[in-house]
Amino acid sequence: MKHSREISSFLLIAMLLPLNACGSNDDAAESVVETTAATAAVVETEPSRTPHSLPDTLDFGGDSFHVLHSADFKRYYFAEEEIGEIMNDAVYDRRIFVEETLNVKMTDYLLDGGQIHAEMQKSVMSGDDVYDYSMMHCIAGVADLVTNGYLYDYRDLPNVDLTAEWWNLALMEQLSLGDKLTYGVSDIIIPNPFVLIFNKDLIWDLNLDDPYQMVYDGTWTLDNFISLCTAVVSDLDGDGTMTLIDRVGVMGIDACLYSSFMTGAGQYLTHKGADGKIEMIVNNEKMHTIAEKMLRLAETPGAAWCTPDENHPTMDTGRVLFYLGGASYAESMREVDVEIGILPYPKFDEAQEEYLMLDWGGLTCVPNTITNPEMVGAVLELMSWDSANGVLPAYYDTILAGKLARDDDCRNMLELIFDSITYDIGLNYFGFDAAFNEFLYFIGNKVIGQKNADFASIYAKREKSLIRSIEKFYERLEETENANN
C-alpha cells in the first residue's frame, strides 16, 4: 500500500536557499521560485505546525527512557552533544526538548541491526523492564516478536494520538496481523527508499534525453530507463570485453537494490486479502513482463551490474550513468567532479499514474514488559511531533548540501520520492524466508546476475514452501492470541 508523508514543507525550507538552478528544466525552476515565494508568505502569517495534545502538567520525575536501536543509524536518532553538524545537532535538540518538557532522561543502547530482535526477545522472556522502545531492522525478527506475543499494542499506550499527522496509522494498520498494532511508524523514523543517482555529465555529453524532464512528463518508464542504460555502454579500454573498467549503464552492489524496480513498476509481492491475511500476488503477467524488460537490459553487455566487487565503479569515476543506493548516498558525492542528480525508480509504463518508492526503513516497537506506559506514550508522542520541527528538515538539508543545493530539479525529485513511499507487507514479515527471498531478489539475482527471466518456473518450484511458511506464521500467531485471551 502507498501513503503520502507531509514532507513538502521540509523541502521548501531547503528551497529558500539561493536558487542558482543548474537543472535542465527552466519552467520547473520558475515554478519552484513562485511556489517558494508564495509559501514564504504563508509561513509568516500561519502557524507551521499542528500542536500536540499532551498536557502541560506531565512530569515523570526524571525517569529513564531506554531505547534499543541500530548503531548504523545512530546519527539520525540520538546525539549526546552539539558538535556543529546539522543532523547531529537537530537530533540533540529534539532529545533535550523531550527530556526537559517531560522531565525524563533518555538513554540509548546500540547493537547491530540484525541483533536487536534477539536482545528484545531475551529481555521480554526474562520479564525485565530493560527497554522502553526499540528501532527494529525492517525484516530481522519482525515476525518472531509478533508471533511470540512480545510486543505492546500501540493502541493501548496512553498519551499517543495515532490519528495525528506525525503518525502513519494507515501503515500501522497495514502491518497489523491479528488484533494488535504492534509496529509503530511515525516521523521519528526517516523513510529509507533506494533511489537512482545519475551522472548528468553523461546525459549532456552524449546528448541523451533528460530523465528529469521524463519524470515531469510522466514518461520516466522502464523502457526509457533501459534505453538510457544501453546508450551509454562503451568498451573504453578497447579489449573487446565489457568489464568494470568500462562505461556502464547501471550499477548496484546488492540484489535488494534491484527489488525496488518491481515496486516502482507497481508490482507488489504480497497484499492483505479479504480475510486480512497476507497473500502472494506476484505471479502474474505484469511480473513476467517486468522480468523480460530487465532481461533485455541484462543481455546488453555492460549495461547492468549487480556485484559487491570492491573494484566496482562508483559515480566519481564518471563511468556510471545510474548508481543505485539510498538517498543519503548523495552526501558522499558533494565534492566529486561529476554533476549528479537523483531520480525515483521508473514506472511500468506511462499509463501508471504514480511513481512508487519502496521503503526499506526500520520499524519501531514497544516491549510488553514496560512498567510505565504513560511515560513511554508521552515520549513517543513528543518525539514524533517534534521531529518535523528540526530533525526532518535537517535530513533533507543534509542531502541537499553542496552542489545539490543549487539543483532545483533535485529538490523536486526528493519531494516526489518521499511523497511516493510505499510498502510491501511481505517484505517485513517474510523477507528472510528462503522461498520468499527468491521472489524478492529475483531481478537482481536471477535476471541481472544470471540472465534468467523465467519467473514462472521459479515460482512454481517455491510456491508450496512459501504458502506453508505463511500458514505456519498464522498458526503461531493464533496460538499466542488464544493463550493471551
Rounded Cα distance between 70 and 77, Å, is 10
Reference 188, options 392, 397, 390, 384; nearest CA is 384
Alpha carbon 416 to its chain's center: 13
* 31: three-class secondary structure by DSSP: helix
Residue 101 burial (CB count, 10 A)? 17
- CATH of span 63-186+361-389: 3.40.190.10
CB 316 within 8 A of CB 336: yes
Q: Which of 228, 278, 243, 242 is nearest to 424 (CA)?
A: 278
> Is 325 in contact with 257 (CB distance < 8 Å)?
yes
Angle at 21 between CA 357 and CA 226, to 5 degrees: 40
Q: Which residue has the cell 533533507?
A: 396
Handedness of CA 195, 272, 478, 374 (dihedral sign): positive
Question: What sections of 159-298 are H helices per DSSP?
Answer: 169-175, 200-205, 211-217, 222-232, 256-264, 285-298
Q: State the residue for C-alpha cell 535530513.
A: 395
What radius of gyration, in Å, describes the C-alpha atoms of the chain? 23
Pairwise CA distance, residues 4 & 318, whole Å: 34
DSSP-derived secondary structure letter, 447: I
Dihedral in degrees, nearest 10, Cα atoms 130, 134, 140, 142 = 100
E strand segments, 129-208: 133-136, 194-199
Fold match, 63-186+361-389 / 194-359+424-479: yes
- Which residues lie across from 251 on neighbouring strands? 305, 323
List Cβ neighbours of 274 (8 Å cut-off, separation of 6 or more): none
Task: Quote the pLDDT of residue 362.
Answer: 82
Whether domain 194-359+424-479 has CATH 3.40.190.10? yes
Q: What are phi and psi for residue 67, nearest 5 degrees?
A: -120, 130
User: Domain limits of the chain?
Assistant: 63-186+361-389, 194-359+424-479
pLDDT at 312: 80
Contact 229, 293 (CB under 8 A): no
- Which strand ranges, in their side-by-side order, compose the sheet holding 320-326? 304-306, 248-252, 320-326, 194-199, 340-343
SS3 content of the chain, % helix, strand, coil (to 5): 45, 15, 40
**Residues facing residue 326 across a β-bridge:** 194
How many whole angstroms separate alpha carbon 485 and alpha carbon 482?
5
d(CA 294, CA 452): 10
Predicted confidence pLDDT, tens digits, the chain (485 residues): 454 444 444 443 333 332 233 333 444 334 333 433 333 333 333 446 789 999 999 999 999 999 998 877 777 788 999 999 999 999 999 999 999 999 999 999 998 877 898 999 999 999 989 999 999 888 989 999 999 999 999 999 999 999 999 998 888 888 888 778 999 989 998 888 999 999 999 999 999 999 999 999 999 999 999 999 999 999 888 888 888 788 999 999 999 999 999 999 999 999 999 988 999 999 999 999 999 999 999 999 999 999 887 778 788 888 999 999 987 777 777 677 888 899 999 999 999 999 999 999 888 999 999 999 999 999 999 999 999 999 988 888 887 766 676 688 988 998 899 889 888 999 999 999 999 999 999 999 999 999 999 999 999 999 999 999 999 999 998 898 888 77
